[in-house]
Amino acid sequence: MPLSHGRPYLAIPGPSVIPDRVLQAMHRPAPEIHGGAMVQLLESLLPDLRAVARTRHKVAMYISNGHGAWEAGLANVLARGDKILALATGRFGHGWAEVAQGLGADVEVMDFGKRAPVDLDRVAARLAEDRAHEIRAVTVVHVDTATSVKNDIAGLRAALDAAGHPALLMVDCIASLGCDRFEMDDWGVDVMVSACQKGLMVPPGLGFVFFNDRAEAARARADMATQYWDWRMRADPQEFYQYFWGTAPTHHLYGLRAALDMLVQEEGMQAAWARHERLARTVWAAIDAWGADGPMEANIADPACRSHAVTAVQLGAPNGTALREWLSETAGVTLGIGLGMAAPGDPAWHGFFRIAHMGHVNAHMVLGALGSIEAGLDALDIPHGRGALGAAAAVVAGR
Ligand SMILES: *Cc1c(COP(=O)(O)O)cnc(C)c1O
Q: DSSP state, 306?
A: B
Q: Find out if CATH 1.10.287.1770 is the number for domain 9-16+268-396.
A: no
Q: Which residues pair with 306 in a beta bridge?
A: 149
Question: If you average pLDDT over every residue of the chain, what do you get?
Answer: 97
Mean pLDDT throughout 341-361?
Answer: 97
Contact in structure between 152 and 21 (CB atoms under 8 Å) = no
pLDDT at 317 over 90: yes
The model's pLDDT over 119-139, given as tens digits with 9 standing for 90+, comes to: 999 999 999 999 999 999 999
Is the shortest distance between the CB of 14 and ligand 1 below 6 Å? yes
3 state DSSP class of 7: coil
Q: Tell me how far CA of residue 272 lies from CA of 14, 80, 214, 262, in angstroms.
A: 18, 40, 30, 10
Q: Percentage helix, strand, coil, to 5, in the chain?
A: 45, 15, 40
Nearest-angstrom CA–CA distance, 14 and 11 = 8
pTM over 0.95: yes
Residue-level pLDDT at 132: 98
Domain boundaries, the chain: 9-16+268-396, 31-265
The model's pLDDT over 234-251, given as tens digits with 9 standing for 90+, comes to: 999 999 999 999 999 999
Nearest-angstrom CA–CA distance, 252 and 234 = 17
Minimum-distance ligand 1 atom for the alpha carbon of 142: 13
Tell me which architecture the domain covering 31-265 has in CATH.
3-Layer(aba) Sandwich (3.40)
Best residue among 62, 92, 151 to mutate for probing ligand 1's pocket (most ligand atoms within 8 Å of CB) is 92
Is the shortest distance between the CB of 67 and ligand 1 below 6 Å? yes
Nearest protein CA to atom 15 of ligand 1, as residue: 175
Best residue among 62, 145, 308 to mutate for probing ligand 1's pocket (most ligand atoms within 8 Å of CB) is 145
Nearest-angstrom CA–CA distance, 312 and 341 = 10
pLDDT band at 92 (very low <50, low <70, confident <90, very high): very high
3 state DSSP class of 93: helix
